[in-house]
Structures are given as C-alpha cells and as structure tokens.
Structure 1
Amino acid sequence: MKRNAVLITILFALSVSLISVSAIFWEFYKLNKQQYIDHIFTKYSVIAQIYREHMQRSSSEIMLEANLAVYDLFIIKDKKEKKDILEKSKLLKKEGFKSFGTSLMLNKNGLFTKNTVTNLEASMLKHQKQIYFYIESPDSEVLIKDERLHPYSYLNILYFYSMVFIIISLSFVLVMQKLRPLIRLRKKIALYGNGDMEISFKTKNIDEIGSVANELENTREKINTILESRTLFLRNLMHELKTPIAKGTIVTQMLSEQKQRDRFTSIFKRLETLVEEFALIEEVTSLGDTTEFKEYRLVDIIDGAIDMAMVDREKVGVMISTDVKVDVNYRLYTTAIKNMIDNAMKYSDDAYIKILINEKGELCFESRGECLKHPLQYYIEPFTKENPSKNSFGLGLYLVDSILKAHGEILAHEYENGVNRFIFA
C-alpha cells in the first residue's frame, strides 16, 4: 500500500470529490423540487376561491367550468378516468383549509344571518406528466386538470451534474496520465539499483517529472564514470601491488639471517592479505547481479569456511541441522563465516567458537570473552580493531557487514553471561 500511496491518495481525493458533488447535487435536487412544488401549489388558492364562490352562490357547474377555464383549468367529469387518476397518481402536496360562508335564513322570528364553516382539503397530484388539483369537502369533491403546469423536471440538474462529473473524471485521467512517466521512472530507478548500470532516464518531457528524469540521467552518467574510475583504479592498484609483493617474497628467501627472513616474510604475507581483502571489498561493493546466488546447505558453507580459516575443527562447534539451506553467493558467504571464525580465534578466551541457529532462525556465532568496549558500529568501520597488536588490518567485520548487506542481512551483537554472540540477522 505504501508503494502506491500517491495513487491511493488521488483515488481517495477523486472518490471524496465525486461523493461530495453527488451529495450536494442530490440535496440541491430535493430542495429545488420542493421549491417548485411549493410554488405551483399556491395556485390552489385561486381554485379554492372559485370553488368556494360556486358553493356559496350555488351556481351552475357550467359557470364553475367557465371560471376555471380562464386559468386553463378543466374539471375531469368521466368517473372512470377520475377513479383511475386518483388511484394511480402520486401525491405531491396536501393541505387543509376552512371555507367561511354567510346566508340569510327565515324563521318565525323573521330573517337572520347564518355563518357556516366548511373544512376543505386541497391535494396536488401528478399523473402521466400532468398536474391535477383535487378539492374535497364533506358534501362534494372535484378533480381539476391544469393544462399549463407540468411535473418537475430534473433534466437541467442532471445535465449540470453530468458536466461536473465528467470534468472531475477527466481531471483524474489527466493526472494519471501525468503520473505514468513517474511510474516508469520508478521502475527504471529500481532496475538501476539492481545493477543495470546502462538504463537510461533521459526523456523528452519538459515538465517537472521530465526535469527530474533528466537530472537523474546526468547523475547516472556521473556515478557510472566514478564507479568505472574506482574499479579501474582498484584493479590496477592490486595488480601493481601483487608484482612487488611476489618479488619481495622471493628475495626474502635469499636473506641469510633467519630473523630478518621471518620478519620480511610476515610483512609480505600481511600485504598479500591486505590486497586480497581489498579485492573482496571491491567485489562486494560492486555486487549487483543476484544470479550468482544459489541454494546451498549451510553446513557445507561452514565446512568450507573452516577449511579457509585453517583452524582445528575441534575448536569449532557446529550445531546446525543438515536440512538448513541458504540462497547465497557461496564464495562471499563462506568468507563472511570464515572471518567470524578468525575473529573468535583471536579475541575469545578459549579460542573456541560455537555456531548455531537461534529460535528466530538466525545464524549465531558464540564465543567466551570480554564484552566489546565500543558499539558494534565502531568495529564494522574499515581499519578498526580492538587490539592493535593483533595480526589484522581491521577489515574483518567490515567485510562481514558488507557481504551481509549484499545478501539483504545485517550483523548484530549480543553479550550475555560472558558470551559474545554475533548474529547474521
């Protein structure tokens, strides 16, 4: 998920935008529709007034129809049609009101005025894209069709909503289109990190991503030049050093005094060891091809490391099952284990090392001795050693750390009950 955080953020922003716009338009649609219904419903007051006068004056139905026709209102007389409309129509709004009437009455005391109050209900109905007004009273009812009015239409709002929806969607497509070069650039960077030094970042785009890609291309060219110069320098240096070391070793054997012969032999052996360690460092730091990684039994690698260290096998306790396998570069991983054995032989109290797998499945090297005086980071720096008198250049743990990093592992250290425990984690 973290690798696609930008894409997920954009998708989230798009979703939130579309949902927000949809919610706003939906609320606007409901409000606009209600306002439209409320506005046209006011027409019922005109109908109610005409109908009230008709009831008060007891005028003919022809007169009522004539008064309604002025406002393009027509009474539905057909009983079947009227029933069908009342049953299938949708109620838009309904409201009750009172009709007040006054009439002269005669009794034994003479003429008097009688006031009457009639409860009426006005309903606005929609049926087959037409608007109807239905007026009910306790004694009568009438269904009136309005020729002018039509039900509320959502097409305008739908049109604007569709336009906004399309614009937001197109914006997302354009953003994704702009991000495609960034995705390709990330893949190229990954290939470059995996050792493809000839991959090109160059692009013709002139936007911000194109500028970054072109700057990366310039940086790649500079890094490749530096790496080539470094590799050439180290190889030439090691080649040029081996010749005088070999000559010096031969000349040393011609010395007559044994003491001087042993001293110079020790010097040239140390120089030869240093050149070999430099060669290993150059190989580890330039390792980018994992095709040389193969599956081996861990006990076979440890056996090879013991042979390289040239130590007594009784001084190395191997407590590892033959079923344990690792996917590594055999030569480099063997060298790392060999250096751990050498380290234990030099600095442990009893020159004994125990190699085992801990409960986490990590390779451990245990030896008795004093706790490290400095943090582990101090010892994995090149040319750093605990005791300057020891026959070492201080590259052992540095090499181990570099080899482990090339294999996706790290070197860790623990001290418990007088035991130093180095871990390939």
Structure 2
Amino acid sequence: MRKHAVLITVLFALTVTLFSVSAVFWEFYKLNKNQYIEHIFTKHEIITQIYREHLQKKTSQIMLEANLAVYKFVIEKDKHEQKAILKKAKTLKQKNLQRVDEAVMLNKKGIFTQKIVRDVRISMLELNKTIYFYIEGPIGSVLIEDEGLKPFTYYSIAYSYLTIILIISISFVLILQRLKPLIRLRRKIALFGNGDMNISFKTSGSDEIALVSNELEYTREKINTLLEARTLFLRNIMHELKTPIAKGTIATQMLGTQKERDRFSSIFGRLESLVEDFALIEEVTSISDKSNFNEYRLVDIIDGAIDMAMVDRKCVTVDVDAGVKLRANYRLYTTAIKNMIDNGIKYSTDSHVKIVMKNDELCFESRGECIAHPLQYYIEPFTKDNPAKNSFGLGLYLVDSILKVHDRVLAHEYENGVNRFIFA
C-alpha cells in the first residue's frame, strides 16, 4: 500500500469529493422538492375556499364543478377510480383545517345563532405524474384533479449534478495522467536500485516531475563515473601489487636461512591473499547484473568450497539434502562457504565444523565460546577478536557482502556451546 500512497490519496480525495457533492445535491433536491410542494399547496388553498363555500351555501354539485373548472380543477366522480387513486397515490403533503358553520337554533328563550366547528383535512397526492387534492369533511369527501399542474421534476438539478461530477472526474483523470510519469520514475529508480546502472531517467518536459527526473539522470551519470573510476583504480592497484609480490616471492628463495625464507614467504603470501580479497570485494560490489547467476546443487557448491579451503574432509561434516538447489554466482557463493569453513575450523575447540540445513537455511555449527561482540561488529572490514590469528578480518565482511548480492543475510545464534552461523 505504501508503494501507491499518492495514487491512493488521490483516489480517496476523489471518493470524498464525489460523496460530498452527491450529498449536497441530494439535500438540495429534497429542499427544492419540499419548497415546490409547499408553494403548490399554499397556492391551491383556493380549492378549500371553493369547497367551504359549497358546503356553507349548499350549492349544487354542478355549481361546485363550474367554480373548480375556472381553475382547471376536475372532480373525480367514479367511485372505483377514486378508491384506486387513494390506494396507490403518494401523499405529498397533508393539512388539517377547521371550518366554522353558523346554525339558527330555537329553544325556550327564542331563536339564536350557534357556531359549529367542523374539522376538514386536505391532502395533496401524486399518481402517474398527476396531482390530486383530496378533501375530507364531516359530511363527505371529494377528490379533485389539477389538470394544469405537473409534478416536481429533477431534470435541472440532475443536469447540474452530472455536469459538476463530469468536471470533477475529468479533473482527477488529468491529475492521474500527470502522475503517470511519477509512477514510471519510481519503477526506474527501483531498477537502478537493483543494479541496472544504465537505466536513463532523462525526460522531456518542464514540470516538477521532469525536473526531478533530469536531476536523477545527472546524479546517475556522476555515480557511474565514480564507480568506473573506483573500479579502474582498484584493478590498477591490484595489478601493480601482484608484480612486486611475485618478484618478492621469488627473491625470498635467495635468502640465506630457512627461517628468513619462511618468514618472508609468509609475509608475501599474506599480501597475495589480501590482494585476492580486494579483488573479491571489487567483484562483489561491482555486480549490477544477475543474469549470469545459474542454478546449482548446494552440495556441489559445498564440495567446491571444501576443496578451495584445502582442509581435511574429516574436519567438515555435511548434512545437506542432495536435491536442494539455489540460483547463485558459483565462484562467489563457494568463496562465502569456504570462509565460513575456515572460520569454523579456526575458532572451534575441536577444529571441526558441521554444515546442515535447518528450516531451509544453511547453517555452520562449531563448538566453542560465544563470539564476544554482536555479529554486526564482525561483518565490518578489518575487525577480528584475536589480532594474532593469521587473518585480515575480511572473511565475514566478504561473506556478508556476497549474501547481500544473493538477497540473503548472515545471522548468528549460540546454543549449548555451539556457535551457529546462518545463511538466512
């Protein structure tokens, strides 16, 4: 998810924006509809007045229909149709009114006028895009159709809503289009980080992403230049060192005593070993392409490492399934295992190392005291516990560097008097 944080943020903003706009337009639609209904309901109070006059003056049905027709109101006379409309229609608004009638009464005291309050309920109904007004009184009811009135429509609001949604969507599409170069740039940076030193970041354009890409291209060229200069320097140094070391080794044989010959042979041998370690370091750090990695059986690599270490095979116990394979640079992986064998034999109490597979991880076990420092201390170059040992302190540093090239790490644990180094 972190890899697509910007894209997710943009999509989240789009979702929130669309939801907010939709919510606002929905509330606006409901408000407009309610205002429309209220306006129509108020405007059509004339129906109530006509019906009141009809009841008070007790005019004929024909007179009532004539008065309603002036305003394009029609009474629904069919009782079955009226029942069907009342059953199916949607009630838009309803209001209770009171009608006051005056009646002439006679009692012992004489003639007097009495006011009678009657309840009247008027309902505004909608069915099949037709508006009806239903009036219920104490002595009857009437259903009136408004032929000149149309129900509330949402087309103008829907048009505005769709227009705004379209504008927002187009805007976000344009934003995503502008983010495409950033996605391509991220992929190129990942390839560069994985060792593709010839990837090009150069791009045309003048926006911020193009400026960053071109700056990365300039940085890439500088890094490549520095790496090439470093590689050339190391190779020249090693080439120049090999010649005097070879001459010194030959000259050593001309010394007078065996003790002097052995001492100088040891010195030149260590120098030659140091040059070889430097060559390995240069090879490991300069690997940018893993296409030359091949699949090998692990037992074959271990056999090659034992031969390279030139130790008695009785000093090494191998408990690895012959079917286990891995993809690796044979020379480098063999060197890493060889260094672990050398360390195991050199620092163990019984000059023995056991190579086993545990949980799909290659382990090197040897008896002895636990290492005095954390593992990180030993994988730094030129560090070692015992300066008197015949070593430059590059063994575990080389192992760690080789494992990193193979997407692995070096780990250590101590259990029951056994140091266990793990290719995890």
TM-score, normalised relative to structure 2: 0.93
1:420 matched to 2:419: yes
Contact 1:44 1:122 in 2 (8 A): no
Q: 1:163 offset after TM fit, Å? A: 2.0
1:388 matched to 2:387: yes
1:165 matched to 2:165: yes
Contact 2:367 2:418 in 1 (8 A): yes
- Call closer, same or farther: CA 1:80–1:373 in 2, change over 3 Å: closer
The match for 2:36 is 36
The match for 1:293 is 293
The aligned amino acid for 2:407 is: G
The aligned amino acid for 2:379 is: I
Contact 2:364 2:421 in 1 (8 A): yes
- Alpha-carbon distance between aligned partners in 2 of 1:302 and 1:39, rounded to the nearest angstrom: 93
- Alpha-carbon distance between aligned partners in 2 of 1:408 and 1:194, rounded to the nearest angstrom: 11
Q: 1:101 offset after TM fit, Å? A: 0.5
Q: 1:343 offset after TM fit, Å? A: 1.0
- Alpha-carbon distance between aligned partners in 1 of 2:106 and 2:326, rounded to the nearest angstrom: 119
Per the alignment, in what secondary structure is the counterpart of residue 349 of structure 1?
Answer: coil
- Alpha-carbon distance between aligned partners in 1 of 2:379 and 2:108, rounded to the nearest angstrom: 128
Q: 1:56 offset after TM fit, Å? A: 0.7
The match for 1:281 is 281
Q: 1:13 offset after TM fit, Å? A: 2.4
The match for 1:357 is 357
1:31-58, Cα deviation, whole Å (9 max, x unpaired): 3212321232123433212211111111
The match for 1:378 is 377
Q: 1:152 offset after TM fit, Å? A: 1.0
The match for 1:137 is 137
The aligned amino acid for 1:387 is: N
Contact 1:72 1:146 in 2 (8 A): yes
The match for 1:302 is 302
Which region of structure 1 is more displaced relative to structure 2, 386-395 or 4-13?
A: 4-13
- Alpha-carbon distance between aligned partners in 2 of 1:370 and 1:195, rounded to the nearest angstrom: 39
- Alpha-carbon distance between aligned partners in 2 of 1:59 and 1:382, rounded to the nearest angstrom: 115
Contact 1:76 1:144 in 2 (8 A): yes
Q: 1:106 offset after TM fit, Å? A: 5.3
Which region of structure 1 is more displaced relative to structure 2, 218-227 or 344-353?
A: 344-353
1:182-225, Cα deviation, whole Å (9 max, x unpaired): 11111211222233222110112222211211110111000000
Per the alignment, in what secondary structure is the counterpart of residue 116 of structure 2?
Answer: strand
Which region of structure 1 is more displaced relative to structure 2, 322-331 or 172-181?
A: 322-331
Write the mapping of 1:8-23 to structure 2, written as runs, cut at 5 A. Answer: 8-23=8-23
Contact 2:197 2:288 in 1 (8 A): no
- Alpha-carbon distance between aligned partners in 2 of 1:8 and 1:347, rounded to the nearest angstrom: 54
Contact 1:404 1:410 in 2 (8 A): yes
Per the alignment, in what secondary structure is the counterpart of residue 291 of structure 2?
Answer: helix
Write the mapping of 1:9-408 to structure 2, written as runs, cut at 5 A. Answer: 9-69=9-69, 71-77=71-77, 85-86=85-86, 88-105=88-105, 110-358=110-358, 360-408=359-407
- Alpha-carbon distance between aligned partners in 1 of 2:341 and 2:108, rounded to the nearest angstrom: 136
1:388-407, Cα deviation, whole Å (9 max, x unpaired): 11111111010000000001
The aligned amino acid for 2:123 is: S
- Call closer, same or farther: CA 1:369–1:93 in 2, change over 3 Å: same
- Call closer, same or farther: CA 1:388–1:107 in 2, change over 3 Å: closer
Per the alignment, in what secondary structure is the counterpart of residue 340 of structure 1?
Answer: helix
- Alpha-carbon distance between aligned partners in 2 of 1:207 and 1:386, rounded to the nearest angstrom: 55
Per the alignment, in what secondary structure is the counterpart of residue 321 of structure 2?
Answer: coil
1:42-90, Cα deviation, whole Å (9 max, x unpaired): 2343321221111111123444345435544344456676566555543
Q: 1:342 offset after TM fit, Å? A: 0.8
Q: 1:20 offset after TM fit, Å? A: 2.7
- Alpha-carbon distance between aligned partners in 1 of 2:282 and 2:325, rounded to the nearest angstrom: 27
Which region of structure 1 is more displaced relative to structure 2, 219-228 or 51-60?
A: 51-60
Which region of structure 1 is more displaced relative to structure 2, 22-31 or 403-412?
A: 22-31
- Alpha-carbon distance between aligned partners in 2 of 1:205 and 1:110, rounded to the nearest angstrom: 105
1:277-311, Cα deviation, whole Å (9 max, x unpaired): 11110111111222222222211111111110011
1:324-362, Cα deviation, whole Å (9 max, x unpaired): 22221111111001001111222222211111122x221
The aligned amino acid for 1:155 is: Y
Per the alignment, in what secondary structure is the counterpart of residue 394 of structure 1?
Answer: coil
Per the alignment, in what secondary structure is the counterpart of residue 270 of structure 2?
Answer: helix
Per the alignment, in what secondary structure is the counterpart of residue 136 of structure 1?
Answer: strand
1:254-288, Cα deviation, whole Å (9 max, x unpaired): 22322221122111111111111111101111112
- Alpha-carbon distance between aligned partners in 2 of 1:281 and 1:202, rounded to the nearest angstrom: 31
- Alpha-carbon distance between aligned partners in 1 of 2:110 and 2:45, rounded to the nearest angstrom: 36
Per the alignment, in what secondary structure is the counterpart of residue 311 of structure 2?
Answer: coil
- Alpha-carbon distance between aligned partners in 1 of 2:75 and 2:355, rounded to the nearest angstrom: 104
The aligned amino acid for 1:341 is: I
Please list every run of 5 or more consecutive structure 2 residues that lacks an aligned counterpart in the other structure.
Answer: none
- Alpha-carbon distance between aligned partners in 1 of 2:216 and 2:238, rounded to the nearest angstrom: 32
> Deviating runs (4+, > 4 A) in structure 1?
69-72, 76-88, 105-110
Which region of structure 1 is more displaced relative to structure 2, 40-49 or 403-412?
A: 40-49
* Aligned Cα root-mean-square deviation (Å): 2.2
- Alpha-carbon distance between aligned partners in 2 of 1:152 and 1:55, rounded to the nearest angstrom: 31
Per the alignment, in what secondary structure is the counterpart of residue 323 of structure 1?
Answer: coil
Please list every run of 5 or more consecutive structure 1 residues that lacks an aligned counterpart in the other structure.
Answer: none
